[in-house]
Amino acid sequence: MASCSTFNLSPSSKPTKPTKPLPHYFLKPLIHEPETETRTRIQTPYPKLIITGPSKLSGHVPISGSKNSALPILAATLCCSGTSKIHNVPNLFDTRTMASVLASLGAKVEVFNNEMLVNTDGVDSVEPNSDEICKIRGGFFVIGPLVARFREAVVALPGGCNIGTRPVDLYIRGLQALGAVVELRDGKVQAYAANGRGLVGGSFQLDYASVGATETLMMAACMADGTTVLSNVAREPEVVDLARFLNDSGACVEGAGSNQLVIKGKPLLHGSECVIAADRIEAGTFMLAAAITRSCISISPVIPSQMSCLIQKLSAAGCKIRQYSHDTLEVCENS
């Protein structure tokens, strides 16, 4: 029998009042903070991997759903009334935290193995739990859907990023171009529709092709009054996946996969069903693992067209790569 976890937040007294932290339903972390051994010496070892080689790899590796597709699509369920059913959600800290973020807003989130059901009809707050938002970079995605559907959002600055400073100025200026008033107060971004009715269509050119800003502004624009043109946007497959989910939910997003999006706003979106695509980064990682260990493995499901550049480079380096079916690759040493 499939395991099931349910979030159902009790109504808060004020729509913008921060909710209490929810009990986590994810597994305890594998690495714990070390205890103090003496009063003068505290051990703080870094997490480490110990690898003994050389070793050969073999067998078949199943590829998980893409985290980078799952996070914005889960956030996009806030644009939709009713229930959205998301398949092939990878069981990761980030996706579990995003589920907790949605629950802190009043959404009902049910988890069945790698499937999530999200019903947003009970959303009664526009301020997600700050502790949850600060854990992952992707938690900030919810600012777009919240302002678009509920005309207001109060979202803590994102966390969870260990690769340097990644500002959110593009998000802010993009929302302002859609008629939002955006202010930074006490470490939180507060945004609301200037006209009191909702966002309006507009034009905005990104300074650089930020994936997160592209996805956030796409979600915001899909419920704005009028047509929005976003230029110099990201073209990654994850952007295309989000656009497909929004269109299946009743939105009108054109140009996904190119450097310009044209979005015709709709007053109401509905829940829909989607399957998270295979994670191209995970697939590429295992392909490289096979190459550097001179091993032979197969992987699936994959989307070979998304791996074409890596396939060319590995082939040029001496690997033999066969495509056994539309979604199965075998990587072997070319001996």
* Preceding omega of 62 cis (within 30 degrees of 0): no
Please give the angle made by the CA atoms of 290, 296 and 298, to the nearest 5 degrees. Answer: 90
168: exposed, middle or buried (C-beta count within 10 Å: 0-12, 13-18, 19+)?
A: buried
* Nearest of 216, 169, 222, 174 to residue 198 by alpha carbon: 222
Give the tokens for residue 173.
């200026």
Q: Parallel, antiparallel, or unpaired: how do β-strands 269-270 and 80-81 relate?
A: parallel
Q: Which residues are catalytic?
A: 161
124: exposed, middle or buried (C-beta count within 10 Å: 0-12, 13-18, 19+)?
A: middle
SS (H, E, C) 230-250: EECCCCCHHHHHHHHHHHHCC
3-state secondary structure of 193: strand
8-state DSSP, 17: S
